[in-house]
Each structure stands twice: as structure tokens, then as C-alpha cells.
Structure 1
Amino acid sequence: MAPKGKVISCRAAVAYGPGQPLVVEQVQVDPPQKMEVRIKILFTSICHTDLSAWKGESEAQRAYPRILGHEASGVVESVGEGVIDMKEGDQVVAIFNGECGECIYCKSSKKTNLCGKFRVNPFKSVMESDGKCRFRNKDGIPIYHFLSTSTFTEYTVVDSACLVKIDPHASLDKMTLLSCGVSTGLGAAWNTADVQTGETVAVFGLGAVGLAVVEGARTRGASKIIGVDINPEKRIKGEAIGITDFINPKEIDVPVHEKIREMSEGGVDYSFECAGNMQVLREAFLSTHDGWGMAIVLGIHPTPKLLSLHPMELFDGRRIVASVFGDFKGKSQLPFLAEQCMAGVVKLDEFITHRLPFEKINEAFQLLLDGKSLRCLLHLS
């Protein structure tokens, strides 16, 4: 590691434009400022949010050059002034939805897991303390941050509110998945829905987040977990993790919600929309049981299209809510999830489908584009 307080030169995968191959090059990483931490990334992975940002699918994601990535684990290299809950050498996981612990949101107990300052913000591309970047390329040009983390680099600087210290005995490669996908899906089942033994669930979209919902419902003892996906290959992975039934909308001649109502005595207790598709969201809503069903939105919807929902449909007792980061308060609650993973209560191995060295990051992107991977783990050491 470089001397503390000094600029570090390291490799990073830099995005210079939408859809362009990432450029693995040397960048300069400044030391952490007040309430910031510089970490050495050991593992990082790619999710569909990174893919969407790389494509430039929304205005919020079009700041260039930029270092993407928001799922990662590593060790603390140095800490800035005021950081007291972490020290050099601590194992940490980066989180995009931070927790300062001091604001009215963070002190709200179970009302919200958002933070006044460090909640997820796709428009934010600089550090909170001074509005500047901590990265520069070889020409001295500032490189923008992404989702408060920027993990496609050997070293990154993040606000301490966006780092979670975890058990030093935890396997860091697996802990990487807690940065986003697994926590989001599993938390939606545990926290947002609070699935109970014997209840029924439908999951629309069996990517990593959807399968994490399946894992969460399985650990809670759901009696029926229906997986819905247009890719027939998702049935195999879904059954390995815990789905009890599978529906391919292309293979049935009735709307999906009608099929689910038929399979679940009038509808499931909870449905989870993980596809980012408006029509799929409506089907998820209608697939829940009259009187008490809840549809949970997890998919990212970048288009300006609005949900087709008549207010009177809500008088049937069905509800629709969204879940950010699985309603986990990252710094205070993620260590417990890590413990559950270490104890084997939550199984993470099925989510890691590929492993590649960091310099093959563009190959990892292609695997996700082609629908061949759930999580490709990139190792930087």
C-alpha cells in the first residue's frame, strides 16, 4: 500500500462514453478527506445498474469520464479526519445507499432506510465534502464518481457512511454480493414484505435480484415460490435456489396474473417485480391476492412511462410499494446479514456464475449483456 496521505497511482476501468469499451488505465487517486475512507478493492462485480449506466440510458448516468461499479469488497487503506468506526486493514463492503447515523432519516428506526445526505443518488458524481472528484487520469482530467462508490478500480475513495465494516473472518469474495443485488432482493423478502412461514410469493424476473428474493423467501419458509421469466434457462437456476413453480409468459395462453391466481388460490401474498418493465409490474400487482396482496417494485424503470393503474383498483386491498436496498440500513444492519451468510443460513455460491481477472472487465460486461451470468466476480489482487 502507498504511504497514507499520498496520491496513489493504480489501475481503473474508465468509461469515456456511452456504450464504449471501458479503458483499463492508470489513474491517480487522492487521499481521503474529512469523513472519507480510501479502500483497496479486492473484489468487484457487475450488476444491471452498471450496465444501464454504461449504456447511458438516463441523463443521470451521462457524466464522463467516469469510474462505474458499486458492488465491491476490500480493505481500508487509510481514513480521513473524523472517521472513528474504521481503521487501516479493516474488511469492508461498499454500499450505494449510505447511512450517516445522525440525520432524522437514520434515526427513524424502522420508518425508512434512506439517509438525508447519503441515500442512493444517481445524479451525484462528486464527493459530498467539497464537491470535487478524487480521481484523475494521466492527463490530469477529473474522473467522475458513480453511486458514491466507483468500484471498478484498485483504489477508491468513499464517504464513511457508504462503507460497512464486516467480520474479519468473512470470505470477501462472497461478501461483495451484499453491496447491492443480494441485499436488495433478500431484504425485500425479509424486511419490506416480511414473508412468513407458509405464505406465497411470485417473483417476476429471475436475474440476480429476483433470485435473491427467492433465497429470502426460501429462508423464511414460503410454501410456494413462483418464478416468472421469458428465458426458459432461468428455470434451472431458479429451482436450484428455491422456486417451487416456473412460468414462462411465452408458453401460456392467458395473462400471467390469471395463471398465478389459478396456482395460488386467488393470488399470492407477495409479488416482486424485478424486471424494470411497466407491463410486468402491472401483472405483478394483479397477481397478488385480493384483500391483502402486496406488490414490491425492485426493477429500475428508466423510461418516462407511467404505471397504468386506476385508483379504484387499490380499494380491493392490494398494495404496491417500492424497496430500496431491501430496506436494510446498511451500516447498522448489513453485518447481521453477513453473519447469516457465514452461518450458511443464506447461501451465496449459486449467485457467482463467473470469475475473471479485473483486466477482463469488458468480457464480464458482455456476459451480462448476453444473459449468461448472474454475477461475474472480478478479482483485483
Structure 2
Amino acid sequence: MVVEEIEVFPPRDHEIRIKVVATGMCHSDLYFLVDCEGWSGFPAVLGHEGAGIVESVGPHVTKFRPGDKVIPVPITQCGECRFCLNPEKTQKDIFCKGLSRGSWCKGQTLVQFAGISTFSEYTVVSEVALAKINDSAPLETVCLLGCGIPTGYGAAINIAKVKPGSTCAVFGLGAVGLAAVMGCKAAGATRIIVIDTNKDKFEKAKVFGATDFVNPKDHARPIQEVLVEMTNGGVDFSLECVGNVDVMATRVWKVSPSWSMNIWLKN
């Protein structure tokens, strides 16, 4: 990763150029930068968890104006196509309405990562890839709403569909995990067990709704056995927020046998 001066194009029809004020580093950025061997998307401007201010708008843009505070969204939703209008959708087509142009650097066209590229002082995005926010919102923190927070919160509310009175297990207490805890609480879960190797995270997790904290380092046996014993047979919902296949395969499924089997069969 290098710092370069680039040329960001002015906005065309239904496009908006924003000044990025704050951006987070998501694991997905690191994945494409470090772990995704053979990805053909370079050179690129990464970043998809940002917040900024509208600098200029292209023709036919009616919902935004210069000075608006906004959050770019990596999964767009036009609200008009058949994918958007399908009430059973679980994930929007990331290329809905097409991606905006990228930018130039040293004669090369730069790929616009996730259609927004927030690791840049300025970026041009489609108007359907922006969410307007309150003028008083602190951009340095609400940038997390671009990815981490809705990922965890939405996993609990929209994908797992956590039920009132249920018992949940959340593996990993990063931004996604804490958001998942918040989603479980909002859905009415009465017991939310969080699992992390960093005991210092429990107090923060309690603020978001966690009721029990389990540190795998405190136990000699597999953590799934501990959780099954704590819950008299297993939890109702388990959410893996570490991004680790081993945790998903050998731990998450085994502490939520009935629900995870249903999800496994659906997939």
C-alpha cells in the first residue's frame, strides 16, 4: 500500500463527489490487500467504511446537495429494480445501477473498490451508493455505519432473525461482534453469551447487552462443550464474528445444533 496523488473525476449524471473525512479499516480491505491471491483488481483505491461531505453533484441529482453529510454504502440499493423490490432478498446486487468511474494515477485507471473507495481524500460515487445523515453526526465515529455495524446488527436481525426470549452466542467482540450483540438485544434475546480471548472487552460488551462472558483461555476443554453445558444443550442462535473458518466449523455449529443445521441445509 502506497500514498499517491490521484486525479478524481468530476461527477457525471446521478453521481456525487464527496470529501472523505473519516474511514475505517475493515478486514475485507486487508483480505484483498494481503490474503486474496490472484485478485486482478489492482491498482485500486481500497476502503469501504467511510463518512464525508458532499463536495459537488452531477446532473439530475435531486436528493443531495453540497455540504450534506453522507455515508457511502458498498452494497447499493436503487429501490427500483427487481432485486431491490423483492421482499425475500437477503443481499443486494452490489452492481445495482452500475459502479461509478474510478480515478487516474500515473496514466493508469484505478479500480474503485466496492464502488466507493474511501481510502481517498475525494471519491465519486453513484447517488444510490450514499446515505444522507444528520448534520450533527460525528463523522469520525459514524463511518463505522458503512460496514461493521450493519454487518453485525443485520446478521442478528435480518439473517438469523433472533427471537424474543432466546439465548445467543456471539464469537468475537470487534466492531461486528459488538454490533451483533446489540442486534440480539434489540431482537429481545434474554441471554447473550459473548466469547473472546480478551477479557477487557466484557465491560464494553455489557453496555451493548451481553449477559455472560466466556474466555476460551480459561478452559482446558473445547469452548463449545463449555457453552453446551452452560445452556443445557446449546444456544438458540450463534453468530461467528471473528472471520475464522475453524471457529465457524468446529465451534459455532456445535453450540447451536438445531438452528445451525437448518441454516446448513438451506445453504
Which of the five TM-score ranges fits, normalised by the shorter chain?
Answer: 0.7 to 0.9
Look up the match of 1:122.
Answer: none
Structure 2 distance, partners of 1:56, 1:157, is 27
Per-residue displacement from partner, 1:306-340 (whole Å, max 9, x unpaired)?
xxxxxxxx4xxx43499xxxxxxxxxxxxxxxxxx
Aligned amino acid, residue 107 of structure 1: L
Aligned amino acid, residue 253 of structure 2: F
- 1:110–1:166 CA distance, 2 compared to 1 (3 A): farther
Structure 1 distance, partners of 2:145, 2:75, is 12
Structure 2 distance, partners of 1:64, 1:111, is 31
Pair 1:187 & 2:165 matched: no
Structure 1 distance, partners of 2:136, 2:201, is 33
SS of alignment partner, residue 125 of structure 2 = strand
Q: Over the residues paired in the alignment, what is the CA RMSD in angstroms?
A: 2.5
CA apart distance, 1:259? 1.6
Structure 2 distance, partners of 1:80, 1:321, is 46
Question: 1:104·1:116 contact (CA, 8 Å) conserved in 2?
Answer: no
Pair 1:103 & 2:81 matched: yes
Question: 2:11·2:124 contact (CA, 8 Å) conserved in 1?
Answer: yes
- Name which of 269, 283, 286 aligns with 2:236: 269
Look up the match of 1:284.
Answer: 252
- 1:169–1:245 CA distance, 2 compared to 1 (3 A): same
Structure 2 distance, partners of 1:321, 1:236, is 36
CA apart distance, 1:98? 0.7
Structure 1 distance, partners of 2:226, 2:122, is 49
Name stretches of at least 5 consecutive residues in structure 2 with no aligned partner: none
- Name which of 41, 54, 64 aligns with 1:63: 41
- 1:321–1:37 CA distance, 2 compared to 1 (3 A): farther
Look up the match of 2:219.
Answer: 252
CA apart distance, 1:180? 0.2
Identical residues among aligned pairs (%): 41
CA apart distance, 1:228? 1.6
* Matched ranges for 1:3-42 at <5 A: 15=1, 22-23=2-3, 25-42=4-21
- Name which of 141, 165, 188 aligns with 1:174: 141
Look up the match of 2:55.
Answer: 77
Aligned length in residues: 265
Per-residue displacement from partner, 1:319-375 (whole Å, max 9, x unpaired)?
3499xxxxxxxxxxxxxxxxxxxxxxxxxxxxxxxxxxxxxxxxxxxxxxxxxxxxx
CA apart distance, 1:58? 3.8
TM-score by structure 2 length? 0.88
Per-residue displacement from partner, 1:128-164 (whole Å, max 9, x unpaired)?
36xxx43122x33322211111001111011222111
* Matched ranges for 1:153-164 at <5 A: 153-164=120-131
Question: 2:72·2:146 contact (CA, 8 Å) conserved in 1?
Answer: yes
More helix by share: 2
- 1:200–1:58 CA distance, 2 compared to 1 (3 A): farther
Structure 2 distance, partners of 1:74, 1:155, is 9
TM-score by structure 1 length? 0.63
Name which of structure 1's ranges 180-189 and 209-218 shifts more when overlaid on structure 2: 209-218
Question: 1:285·1:320 contact (CA, 8 Å) conserved in 2?
Answer: no
Per-residue displacement from partner, 1:18-49 (whole Å, max 9, x unpaired)?
xxxx32x3221111122221111111111111
Look up the match of 1:378.
Answer: none
Aligned amino acid, residue 166 of structure 2: E
Per-residue displacement from partner, 1:201-243 (whole Å, max 9, x unpaired)?
1011222111110122233342211112234444444344332
Name stretches of at least 5 consecutive residues in structure 1 with no aligned partner: 1-14, 16-21, 120-126, 295-313, 323-381
Pair 1:128 & 2:99 matched: yes
CA apart distance, 1:105? 0.8
